[in-house]
């Protein structure tokens, strides 16, 4: 049974890096892991230290993986996923070719509101059904778009309801009904004589594929609400937008889903309340041969210590605030001052993830 870990949170929290580290942790635990980013920003390849990711899984070289461990990664390509879905569900290759060649299909597959989330659902379903991975980690866009991802299966069902499609094509209403309302001439003048034929053809072809699309949406809806799927919230330790995190948590609960944990990213641990011993060490290490340089360097180091201490206290306060708002204890993930740009950095971050994360749940093979 494939488990799914959906990583969500506010923008700028480092969800992509955390997702990659999570998938790395599973691979290092001897599991077959794949990380899918549905965020249009191209950060996953950067975090993995590779130049490019496409719509199909790319093997990632992780040093020291045990037997059975494996890591793959991919970035959602909305148009390519649409085309693959159409070809899978079309009754014939000819119908698939006609739909893909339809000018309205091009607009829908590249610009339809919610289409990106719909294709993310399709890609997730394909990864699970492939039965090639034990774990799928999903890197989502910022919180509101992540909610769109969760809502996508129900929107698919509503949009492709057979009654809706029949209504669009009905002679008494919908597109064909435009002629009886005197609007067809205006449409043809504005958009050209073939626009109604193209639009009607698009809905007719989509109607032929609707049953398959709706079944897929229903299957993924059940998957996202099953015990095999866990949801993680990522927040930046420096200034988390608590209200957005609470809103996302509440939206999950409305769908009878719970947050598995909150990860406070880029967290600076306390240096200790009394910094005098640390300052004394710096003072003792000063270079006596050049007093002017020694004084300047020592002053700079003292300033950095004080600034780091202030930042650590602020992060501790943010951890308490987030914990009180969400009713949990956020798990801190350490700050990487220079960022994470390869698998070695991901391995280090993976070691800081919650204990027990990669343990196989009962009934999972």
pLDDT for the residue numbered 125: 87
CATH number for 93: 3.40.50.300
Same domain, 292 and 249: no
Strand arrangement, sheet containing 331-334: 58-59, 70-75, 32-37, 135-139, 3-9, 229-236, 259-267, 331-334
Same domain, 223 and 259: yes
Same domain, 223 and 84: yes
Same domain, 280 and 343: no
- The number of distinct structural domains making up the chain is 2
**Angular region, 135: left φ>0, alpha ψ -120 to 50, beta rest:** beta
Same domain, 84 and 151: yes
Same domain, 239 and 285: no
pLDDT for the residue numbered 44: 93
pLDDT for the residue numbered 140: 87
- 257: helix, strand or coil: coil
- Give 313: exposed, middle or buried? Use CB within 10 Å, 0-12, 13-18, 19+: middle
pLDDT for the residue numbered 187: 43
Contact 361, 3 (CB under 8 A): yes
Same domain, 99 and 117: yes
Which stretches of the chain are assigned E, i.e. beta strand? 3-9, 32-37, 58-59, 70-75, 135-139, 229-236, 259-267, 331-334
The range of the structural domain enclosing residue 133 comes to 3-162+212-271+327-350
Same domain, 132 and 218: yes
- Within a domain: 356: no
pTM for this entry: 0.80
Contact 313, 320 (CB under 8 A): no
Same domain, 267 and 280: no
- Within a domain: 24: yes
Alpha-carbon dihedral angle through residues 261, 266, 272, 273, given to the nearest 10 degrees: -90
Between CA 75 and CA 61 the distance in angstroms is: 17
- Within a domain: 104: yes
Alpha-carbon dihedral angle through residues 135, 141, 142, 147, given to the nearest 10 degrees: -70
- Within a domain: 135: yes
Beta bridge partners of 99: none
- Within a domain: 51: yes
pLDDT > 70: what percent of the chain? 69
Q: Could you tell me the pLDDT band of residue 220, with boundaries at 50, 70 and 90?
A: confident
pLDDT for the residue numbered 323: 94
Between CA 57 and CA 50 the distance in angstroms is: 13
Same domain, 38 and 77: yes
């Amino acid at each position: 049974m494939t488990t799914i870990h959906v990583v969500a949170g506010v923008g700028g929290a480092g969800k992509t890096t955390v997702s990659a580290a999570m998938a790395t942790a599973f691979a290092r635990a001897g599991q077959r892991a794949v990380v899918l980013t549905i965020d249009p920003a191209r950060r996953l390849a950067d975090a993995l230290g590779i130049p490019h990711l496409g719509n199909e899984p790319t093997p990632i070289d992780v040093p020291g993986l045990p037997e059975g461990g494996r890591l793959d990664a991919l970035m959602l390509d909305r148009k390519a996923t649409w085309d693959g879905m159409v070809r899978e569900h079309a009754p014939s290759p000819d119908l698939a070719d006609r739909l893909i060649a339809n000018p309205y299909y091009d607009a829908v597959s590249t610009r339809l509101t919610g289409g990106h989330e719909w294709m993310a659902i399709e890609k997730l379903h394909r990864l699970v059904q492939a039965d090639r991975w034990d774990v799928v980690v999903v890197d989502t866009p910022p919180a509101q778009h992540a909610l769109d991802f969760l809502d996508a299966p129900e929107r698919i069902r509503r949009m492709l309801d057979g009654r809706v499609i029949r209504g669009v094509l009905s002679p008494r209403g919908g597109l064909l009904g435009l002629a009886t309302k005197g609007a067809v001439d205006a449409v043809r003048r504005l958009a050209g004589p073939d626009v109604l034929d193209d639009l009607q053809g698009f809905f007719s072809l989509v109607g032929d594929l609707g049953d398959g699309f709706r079944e897929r949406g229903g299957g993924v809806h059940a998957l996202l609400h099953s015990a095999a799927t866990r949801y993680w919230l990522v927040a930046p330790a420096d200034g988390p937008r608590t209200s957005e995190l609470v809103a996302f948590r509440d939206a999950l609960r409305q769908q009878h889903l719970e947050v598995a944990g909150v990860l406070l990213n880029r967290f600076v641990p306390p240096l200790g309340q009394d910094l005098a011993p640390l300052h004394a060490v710096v003072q003792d290490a000063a270079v006596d041969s050049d007093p002017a340089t020694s004084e300047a360097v020592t002053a700079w180091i003292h300033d950095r210590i004080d600034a780091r201490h202030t930042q650590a206290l602020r992060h501790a306060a943010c951890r308490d605030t987030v914990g009180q708002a969400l009713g949990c204890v956020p798990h801190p993930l350490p700050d990487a001052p220079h960022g994470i740009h390869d698998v070695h950095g991901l391995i280090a971050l993976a070691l800081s993830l919650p204990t027990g994360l990669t343990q196989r749940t009962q009934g999972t093979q």
